Amino acid sequence: MRYLTALIPLLFVVACSDASVAKPESQPEPEMLPARLLRCTLGHALNLDETKFQTIEEIKYEGAHRFTLFLPSVPKHEGPPPDPSADPEPVHPATRIVEDPSGLTRDIRGSFSRVVDLWPQRVELVSPLDPPFSHLIIVSDIDTAKGVANLFMTRAADAGSLDLKTVYQGGCRIEAVPSPR
C-alpha cells in the first residue's frame, strides 16, 4: 500500500508533464495526382526532316494505332523537374501500357525505368530497349478541362538523338480512374 501511495503522485506528474510537452506537427499529406487512363490514337510520322523546324500541321501521318497508357495516382511533383542526368525517382509499379494492339512498344524490356509526372504540364516516360536505345513517351498539351492530351513516342539513344523512323504522335482522351480504397 505504501508503494501505491508513492506511485499515484508519480503517475500524476508523468501524465501532466506528457500533456504539456508540445507534440511535433505531423507532416501534411502530399497532394496526389489522380489516376489517369489515356486512350490514344497514334499516327506514324512519315516526312520528318531533322534539318528544319516543322509544325504538327506540316507532318504527314499514316495509320490509326490504338494505344492506352495508365498513369497511377502519385504525389504531385513540387519544384523544378528533375535533371535528366540525375538518378531516376522510383517508378510506381502500376504505371503501364494497357493496350497496344499494333505492337508499337513490343520491343520494350520490362517496365518503365524513369517517369517524370509533371501533370498537367507534361509526363515523360522512358523504358529500356536494346542498348543504347530507350523508348521515349511524352504526354503534353494536356487540357484537363477538355479531357485531351497529345502523346509523342519514339526510340532514342538520348534526348538529342531520336529515331525519326519510329515516331508516332496523336491525340488522347483522358479518363479519370477511381482510386482503390
Measure the CA–CA gap between 75 and 30, rounded to whole angstroms. Answer: 6
The pLDDT-based confidence of 5 (bands split at 50, 70, 90) is very low
114 falls within a domain: yes
21 falls within a domain: no
CB atoms within 10 A of CB 69: 24
Amino acid at 56: I
More confident: 1 or 114:
114
Say if residue 28 is preceded by a cis peptide, omega within 30 of 0: no
Q: Is 20 helix (H, G, I), strand (E, B) or coil?
A: helix
20 falls within a domain: no
For residue 95, pLDDT over 70 is answered with: yes
Given this model, what pLDDT does residue 143 score? 97
Task: Compute the 3-state secondary structure of the chain and give helix, strand, coil in percent, each to the nearest 5.
Answer: 15, 40, 45
99 falls within a domain: yes
The pLDDT-based confidence of 20 (bands split at 50, 70, 90) is very low
In this prediction the pTM is: 0.80
| pLDDT tens digits for range 43-53 | 999 999 888 89
Provide the grid cell at 139. Answer: 504526354
Quick one: what percent of the chain has pLDDT higher than 90? 56
Cell 502530399 locates to 30
Measure the CA–CA gap between 96 and 70, rounded to whole angstroms. Answer: 5
Domain count, the chain: 1
The pLDDT-based confidence of 63 (bands split at 50, 70, 90) is very high
| pLDDT tens digits for range 69-78 | 999 999 998 8
How far does CA 174 lie from the centroid of its chain?
A: 14
154 falls within a domain: yes
The pLDDT-based confidence of 25 (bands split at 50, 70, 90) is low
4 falls within a domain: no
Amino acid at 111: S
Q: What are phi and psi of 19, to 5 degrees?
A: -70, -30
Given this model, what pLDDT does residue 19 score? 46
Measure the CA–CA gap between 142 and 119, rounded to whole angstroms. Answer: 8
27 falls within a domain: no
Domain that holds residue 136: 35-79+88-177
Provide the grid cell at 94. Answer: 502500376
For residue 13, pLDDT over 50 is answered with: no
Q: What is the mean pLDDT of residues 70-87?
A: 88
| pLDDT tens digits for range 96-143 | 999 999 999 998 878 899 999 999 999 999 998 878 889 999 999 999
